[in-house]
Amino acid sequence: MVLPELPSAMPAPPDGLTIRAVEDPDRWAELIVTGVLGMGGARVERPLELFPFSVSETHRAFLGTFRGRPVATSVGHPWNGVVGINFVATLPEFRGRGFGTAMTWRAAAVARSADCPIVTLHASPMGYPVYRRMGFVERFRYTEWATPRPSGAPA
């Protein structure tokens, strides 16, 4: 999906949600654990081994907290004039409060600082209606193919 135009001012996050840039390995580990759980995965015991710490001057990751607890994630990655939004996730018990929307807006805001005119993302079925309400439009669909895991292989 593509956002045709960034709003002149980003909407404020919902009351109680604090969004901070991830700039150190401890916060990166929290982001990974929160994002994986928000996407329905199992708790990651060694997150930095799974996804090494890699935030550059342009690649920005964000962690949303509610009352000090990590609850939501997003990443904005500018490349070649396009900001790709990835890893938008909210813990299941915190969904429906606008946290995912706020995290998506925060990642989209990377476009301004990176001077990128295009913002894009791949929408899950759960996220699709949220992104449509935000103004994202569908430009194409694709099919993702996966090879079945052999029996006994780790998840």
- What is the pTM (predicted TM-score) of this model? 0.86
Domain containing residue 68:
2-134
Count structural domains, the chain.
1
Cα–Cα nearest to 108, from 62, 55, 141: 62
CATH of the domain at 111: 3.40.630.30
Over residues 4-46, the pLDDT tens digits come to 989 988 899 999 999 999 988 888 889 999 999 999 988 877 7
| Residue 154 located in a structural domain | no
| Residue 65 located in a structural domain | yes
| Residue 139 located in a structural domain | no
Over residues 93-150, the pLDDT tens digits come to 999 999 999 999 999 999 988 889 999 999 999 999 999 999 999 987 777 777 777 7
CA distance 108 to 3: 9
Beta-carbon contacts of 84 under 8 Å, excluding residues fewer than 6 positions away, are: 76, 77, 78, 120, 121
| Residue 147 located in a structural domain | no
